[in-house]
Every structure is written in structure tokens, then in C-alpha cells.
Amino acid sequence: MAFTTDQNHKLDANERTQHFFVLTGGPGSGKSTLIAALQRAGYAHSIEAGRGIIQDQLAIGGGALPWIDPGAFAELMLSWEMRSYHMAKDAAGPVFFDRGVPDVVGYLRLLNRPVPPHIERAAQLFCYNRLVLIAPPWEEIFRQDRERKQDYSEAVRTYEAMASTYSAYGYELIEIPCASVEVRMNFVLSRIPTQLRRH
């Protein structure tokens, strides 16, 4: 995806963003694996902010980590998601986002932290298709690792925070079934307009 420097962007929900589809949910729910499968099928996608930021911060010895400075981590996530949005604007066909700008709001709400006005504004301006696909908690596949330090109970709370946040912004949530990657991918593709699918 090519990055555009066009500053004359009107970020209301319109024809240019109807092909932007967010996949959200709690950590360890198979969301990124599903997006990787969509990528292999030829669909454009974004890279999840959280894991990428954590990897970079660990590599450079930075402190913008969720277990050190959640506020700084949220700001980096916001910048990452906004840049992903701009990069996707010229993509042909649907773009699948591994989380979106409202996820930053959900993250802060999960932590019972105030949402700064500029983050609230960003969630209102950077619009996606009103149908948001959400991966439910799935204990059988949940794993912790170097970047994912949350336990399963926090994964459930994250799912709930994202569901309530996206609903509050007027999105319609569609829950992705706990099934094989192929079944999940077909389910996701069946929810987007026929004219946007690859043939």
C-alpha cells in the first residue's frame, strides 16, 4: 500500500472508506492468523499496532510499553493506526485492518483511564465500514508470549471493552465463529459486498 501525503482528507464515512473492514477482539483470539490468511488470498491488510510497537520498543530499550507507560503506548498505537489508515486509502478492493483507531479508546477504557479529546476526535474522524468483525475469546488457542503478557481473563475483558467501544461509535458488530482459519476466512468474506471480493 502506498502512503499518501494528501492533506485534503475528509475522514467521514464515505465511499472511500466503505472498503475498510476492521477485525478486532481480545488478544490470542486468532485474529492476526485470520488476517494473515486473508493476505495470502490476495487481500490488502494492516499490521497490528500493539505487537509491532512492543517489538520495536523492546528492541530499542524504549519505555512506551503497556506494562511501563500505558499512556505513551496508547499514543504510539494511535499514530500507527492513523498512518495505516492513510496508507490504505489508495488500495483497490477491501482492506482488512488488524484493529482500528477505536481500539485505542477501548484500550484506555479497559485500563479505566480517561480518553484524551484528541483520541476521541480521531475515533470519530477515522471511519471504517459500519460492519466490524470481532473475534471472541477462545481459551483453547489462547497463548501468552514475550509480547502478549495478558492472561485469559484480561483477554475476555479486552473483548468486552472493544465490543462496547465500537458499539458506542455506531458500528455493527459481527462475531467471528471459533472455527478453522478457512471457515473463519469464508465467514468474513461472506460479510463483505460481492463486488469487493477477489474472484
Tens digits of per-residue pLDDT, 96-155?
Answer: 999 999 999 999 999 999 999 999 999 999 999 999 999 998 777 766 655 556 678 888
CB contact at 8 A, 27 and 141: no
Of residues 141 and 156, which shows the higher confidence score?
A: 156
Burial 105-130 (b: 16+ CB within 10 A, else e): bbbbbbeeeebbeebbebbeebbbbe
For residue 13, name the pLDDT band (cuts at 50, 70, 90): very low
Work out the percent of the chain whose per-residue pLDDT is above 70: 85
Instruction: Sort strands 44-45 and 95-98 into parallel, antiparallel or unpaired.
Output: parallel
| Cβ neighbour number for residue 190 with a 10 Å cutoff | 9
The CATH code of domain 20-191 reads: 3.40.50.300
- pLDDT exceeds 50 at position 11: no
- Range 65-88 average pLDDT: 96
Residue position matching grid coordinates 499514543 = 75
Q: Specify the pLDDT at position 155.
A: 85
For residue 198, name the pLDDT band (cuts at 50, 70, 90): low
Q: Specify the pLDDT at position 132.
A: 97
**How far is CA 149 from each of CA 32, 152, 153, rounded to the nearest angstrom?**
16, 10, 12
- Range 62-68 average pLDDT: 94
Distance of CA 112 to the CA centre of its chain: 20
Q: What is the largest CA-CA distance in the chain?
A: 46
Which range has the worst mean pLDDT, 50-54, 111-115, 186-190? 50-54
- Range 42-67 average pLDDT: 93
Quick one: cell of 25? 477482539
Mean pLDDT of the chain: 87
Spatial distance between the Cα atoms of 58 and 136, rounded to a whole number of angstroms: 28
For the whole model, what pTM was predicted? Answer: 0.86
Residue position matching grid coordinates 485534503 = 8
Residue 181: closest CA among 74, 54, 23: 23
End-to-end CA distance of the chain: 20
